[in-house]
Amino acid sequence: MKTLLYMQGLTKEYGKEKAVDNITFSLNKNTSTALIGPNGAGKTTTLSMLAGLLKQTTGSIVMDGEDTKDIRKMIGFLPQYPQFYTWLTALEFTEMVAKLSGVEPKMAKLEAEKTLEFVGLGSAKNKKTGTFSGGMKQRLGLAQAIVHKPALLLLDEPVSALDPIGRREIMNLLKELQANTTILYSTHILNDAEEMTDQLLFLRKGKLVEQGSMREVREKYANPLYKMYFSSSEEAALFVEMSPWPTRQEGPVAFISIEDGKPKMQEVLLKLANSNLSLSKVERATASLEEIFLQVVNKG
Ligand code: ATP
The Å distance, Cα 187 to ligand 1 centre, comes to 14
Asked if residue 239 and residue 162 are part of one domain, the reply reads no
- End-to-end Cα separation, the chain, in angstroms: 32
Do 289 and 176 lie in one domain? The reply is no
User: Residue 242 phi/psi, 5° resolution?
Assistant: -90, -10
What's the whole-number mean pLDDT along residues 109-113? 97
In terms of domains, do 278 and 130 share one? no
The count of domains in the chain is 2
Closest residue CA from atom 21 of ligand 1: 19
pLDDT at 179 over 60: yes
For residue 97, give the 3-state DSSP assignment. helix
Q: Could you identify the atom of ligand 1 that is nearest to the CA of residue 20?
A: 14
Protein residue closest via CA to atom 22 of ligand 1: 19
177 and 209 together in one domain: yes
Distance CA 273, CA 268 (A): 9
Three-state SS at 111: helix
**Burial tier of 152 (Cβ tally within 10 Å: 0-12, 13-18, 19+):** buried
Three-state secondary structure of 191-241: HHHCCCCCEEEEEECCEEEEEECHHHHHHHHCCEEEEEEECCHHHHHHHHH
Q: What residues flank ligand 1, with Cβ below 6 Å? A: 14, 17, 19, 37, 39-45, 80, 188
Q: Give pLDDT tens digits for 239-249.
A: 999 998 888 89
pLDDT of residue 72 exceeding 80, the answer is no
> Which numbered atom of ligand 1 lies nearest the CA of 38?
2
* pTM summary value: 0.83
Atom of ligand 1 nearest to the CA of 46: 11
In this structure, the answer to whether residues 230 and 207 fall within a common structural domain is no
Could you tell me the distance, in angstroms and rounded to a whole number, from the CA of residue 202 to the centre of ligand 1?
15
Are residue 264 and residue 182 in the same domain, yes or no?
A: no
Residue among 68, 127, 75 at smallest CA distance from 97: 75
Residue 284: give the domain boundaries.
222-298
85-97: b (≥16 Cβ within 10 Å) or e: eeeebbbbbbbbb
Q: Is 281 left (phi over 0), alpha (psi -120 to 50) or beta?
A: beta
What residue type is assigned to position 118 of the chain? F
Task: Give residue 116's pLDDT.
Answer: 97
For residue 66, name the pLDDT band (cuts at 50, 70, 90). Answer: low
